[in-house]
Amino acid sequence: MRKLFIIGIGAGHRDHITVQAVEALNKVDVFFALDKGREKEDLARLRQEICETHIKGRSYRTVSAPDPERDRKPSSYESAVKDWHQRRVAIFERMIAQELGEDECGAFLVWGDPALYDSTLRIVQQILARGAVQFAYEVIPGVSSVQALAAAHKISLNQIGTAVEITTGRNVAAGFPDGFDNVVVMLDADCAFKAVKDADVDIYWGAYIGTKDEILVSGDVRAVAAEIERIRAEARARKGWIMDIYLLRKRE
């Protein structure tokens, strides 16, 4: 029977990968990927570097297809994302059926950890529910950008007896979330931290975490917000893309 691994490969460093993930990589016949265009060639090269570093004495092949376009200014965000995922489901279903033999092992390499703000697991489960192609699958956890951010800034994610919320920029745009002292923010394209006006909140921001291009800024969010926005814009213009994350923390 066909088998798939969904492998977390860390935040960007080729060594952000577990021994379990290395063992899984060395069982794979086919790696499936979506081509995100020239702007994100760096990410494709990092995936290739991870495979070349950790796969020993085994041949494998990579099968890719263009990533479907996503509506970036939809009237309904949820509907747009669901439509985008459905088109990915159709693409991956076809790739698995056509490119993965009955006794072969395939894999999706997922940035960070497959359980955290990534659609691969939902897409794989939807493919199985459609019933056109059958396979077993296994999930291999990875080092998330959340963990890598904390390590880069040399901080813990939570303070004594407090909780941590992990959310998106869309949910922080109205200000610091109620009921939490520590908020990790992902997928923030609009610098939502500018909406935080509290006098006792620090930000720990990072872009390209774990890579040679890593950028870190920290301080009172009101004092450094403009600096982060400028650095972020310059980095995105220079590379054509950006992946960033930050922690907002109320001071004890």
- Render 9-51 in DSSP notation, one character per residue: -BSS-TT---HHHHHHHTT-SEEEEEE--GGGHHHHHHHHHHH
CATH code for position 217: 3.30.950.10
Same domain, yes or no, for 129 and 173? no
Same domain, yes or no, for 123 and 173? no
pLDDT confidence of residue 205 = 98
pLDDT of 71-122, one tens digit each?
777 777 778 788 888 999 999 999 999 999 999 999 999 999 999 999 999 9
Same domain, yes or no, for 96 and 200? no
Same domain, yes or no, for 120 and 169? no
Same domain, yes or no, for 174 and 230? yes
Please enumerate in sequence order all residues whose Cβ is within 8 A of that of 245, keeping only pairs 6 or more positions apart, or say none.
145, 146, 149, 184, 185, 186, 205, 206, 209
- How many Å apart are CA 122 and CA 134, to the nearest integer? 15
Closest C-alpha to 48, from 65, 66, 36, 60: 60
Packed helices 120-130 and 77-99: angle between N→C axes, nearest 10 degrees = 60
Q: Kindly tell me the burial class for residue 195, based on how many C-beta atoms sit within 10 Å of its own C-beta (0-12, 13-18, 19 or more).
A: middle
Q: Return mean pLDDT, the chain.
A: 92
- Of 122, 140, 158, the one marking the end of a domain is 140
- How many Å apart are CA 93 and CA 181, to the nearest integer? 42
* Token output for 191: 């610098």
Same domain, yes or no, for 43 and 120? yes
- Of 94, 122, 140, the one marking the end of a domain is 140
Same domain, yes or no, for 36 and 129? yes
From 92-96, 183-187, 239-243, the region with the lowest mean pLDDT: 239-243
Same domain, yes or no, for 157 and 123? no
Contact 33, 47 (CB under 8 A): yes
Same domain, yes or no, for 51 and 20? yes
State the amino acid at position 249 in one-letter form.
R
Task: Tell me the pLDDT band of 198, cut-offs 50, 70 and 90.
Answer: confident
CATH code for position 134: 3.40.1010.10
pLDDT confidence of residue 41 = 80
- Of 140, 158, 181, the one marking the end of a domain is 140
Same domain, yes or no, for 95 and 220? no
* Token output for 63: 């099968």
pLDDT of 134-177, one tens digit each?
999 999 999 999 999 999 999 999 888 889 999 999 999 988 88
Task: Tell me the pLDDT band of 39, cut-offs 50, 70 and 90.
Answer: low
pTM: 0.90
Same domain, yes or no, for 25 and 126? yes
Same domain, yes or no, for 66 and 164? no
Report in angstroms the alpha-carbon separations of 157 from 26, 35, 114, 188, 248.
33, 33, 20, 19, 10
Instruction: Tally the domains of the chain.
Output: 2
Q: Is pLDDT at 38 greater than 80 in this prediction?
A: no
Containing structural domain, residue 230: 145-250
